[in-house]
Amino acid sequence: MAVSKHVRLSDVAAHAGVSIKTVSNVVNGFQHVRPSMRQHVQQAIDELGYRPDASGRTLRTGRTGLVGLAVPDLGNPYFADLAQRLVAEARKYDMRLLIEQTGGDRDEEVAILSGRGARMVDGLIFSPLSVHDEDLRNRKDQIPLVLLGEHEGGDIADRVDIDSVGVAFDAVTHLIEGGRRRIAMLGWVGTNTTHVSRNRRDGYLRALEAAGIARDPELIRVVHPWGRLTGKTAAEQLIASGVEFDAIFCGNDAIALGALTALREKNFNVPGDVAVIGIDNIEESEFCVPSLSTMAIDRQAMAERSFKLLHRRLESPDGETATLATPYALIRRGSSNTAEG
Distance CA 129, CA 131 (A): 6
Q: What is the pTM assigned to this prediction?
A: 0.79
Question: Nearest-CA neighbor of 127 among 283, 326, 340, 278?
Answer: 326
Residue 47 shares a structural domain with residue 132: no
Clarify whether residues 169 and 271 are in a common domain. yes
SS3 321: coil
Give the residues of the chain that fall short of pLDDT 70. Answer: 1-6, 28-31, 51-63, 117-119, 140-141, 151-154, 192-193, 338-341
Q: What is the CATH number of the domain that holds 13?
A: 1.10.260.40
Q: What is the pLDDT of residue 1?
A: 34
81 in any annotated domain: yes
- Which of 94, 87, 7, 1 is closest to 47 using CA atoms? 1
Give the pLDDT confidence of 272-324 residue by residue, as tens digits. 999 999 999 999 999 999 999 999 999 999 999 999 999 999 888 888 899 99
Q: Exposure of 325 by Cβ count < 10 A (0-12 exposed, 13-18 middle, 19+ buried)?
A: middle
Residue 337 covered by a domain: no
Indicate if 14 and 120 belong to the same structural domain: no
Residue 174 lies in a domain: yes
The verdict on 266 and 169 lying in the same domain is: yes
Give the span between the Cα atoms of 199 and 205, in whole angstroms.
10
What is the rounded distance in angstroms from the CA atom of residue 285 to the CA atom of residue 169? 20
Taking alpha carbons only, the member of 74, 69, 84 closest to residue 300 is 84
How many other C-beta atoms are found inside a 10 Å radius of the C-beta of residue 28? 13
121 in a domain, yes or no? yes
CA gap 185, 168 in Å, rounded: 10
Give the model's pLDDT for residue 317.
83
So what's the pLDDT on residue 34? 85
Confirm whether 103 is domain-assigned: yes
CATH code of 151's domain: 3.40.50.2300
Task: Say whether both 168 and 293 belong to one domain.
Answer: yes
Q: How far is CA 149 from CA 23, 195, 218, in A?
A: 42, 9, 28
Q: How far apart are alpha carbons 223 and 233 in whole angstroms?
A: 8
Domain range for residue 25?
9-52
pLDDT of residue 211: 98
Distance from C-alpha of 97 to C-alpha of 124, rounded to nearest angstrom: 9
Shared-domain flag, residues 104 and 206: no
Do 229 and 116 lie in a common domain? no
Query: Whole-angstrom Cα distance, residue 13 to residue 5?
Result: 17
pLDDT at 104: 85
- Give yes or no: residues 41 and 76 share one domain: no
Report pLDDT for 212.
98
**Same domain for 38 and 136?**
no
* Distance separating the N- and C-terminal Cα atoms of the chain: 55
Do 150 and 171 belong together in one domain?
A: no
Residues 177, 292, single domain; the answer is yes
Residue 89: inside a domain, yes or no? yes
H-run or E-run covering 292: none
Q: Do 94 and 201 share a domain, yes or no?
A: no
Could you give the strand order of the β-sheet that contains 158-161, starting from the edge strand earlier in sequence?
A: 96-101, 66-71, 123-126, 145-148, 158-161, 323-325
Phi then psi dihedrals of residue 104, to 5 deg = 70, 10
| Structural domain contains residue 303 | no
Assigned domain for 105 exists = yes
The helix, strand and coil proportions of the chain, stated in percent and rounded to the nearest 5, come to: 45, 15, 40
For residue 340, the model assigns a pLDDT of 43
- Residue 76 in 3-state DSSP? coil
**Count: domains in the chain:** 3
